[in-house]
Structure 1
């Protein structure tokens, strides 16, 4: 995140103050909502790779909550 903020600051240094402040606020909002990547074990990563290669199933994010849905492609 620090690198992103530094790059944004570098990119907006020549903009008018109001435009630069709007970009800072939007950048902060986006970074606050960003989800950190989850650390998976090797076993979990291998299992996920194998599931993704299986054409008979579909892996989707659930409509609500922080969940994953695995279902048959025909459904």
Structure 2
């Protein structure tokens, strides 16, 4: 009786087809990497982060979080 290592896989089992690259998607990705994040986008990311950390028992809305962050914003 031959015992085989279950972690060892044949080349055939490991082979897979590489999906065709979509040139438009690749071009858009390259452009997005070069683009700088605006202050407004960064602020909205902060709003989303704070809102996401509140938990399900919080009664605050995303608009209320945004308003509070704007109120506490330092120049």
Indicate whether the TM-score tops 0.5. no
TM-score, normalization by structure 1? 0.28
By relative contact order (CA 8 Å, sep 6+), the higher-ranking structure is 2
Give the alignment's TM-score, normalised by structure 2.
0.28
The higher radius of gyration belongs to 2
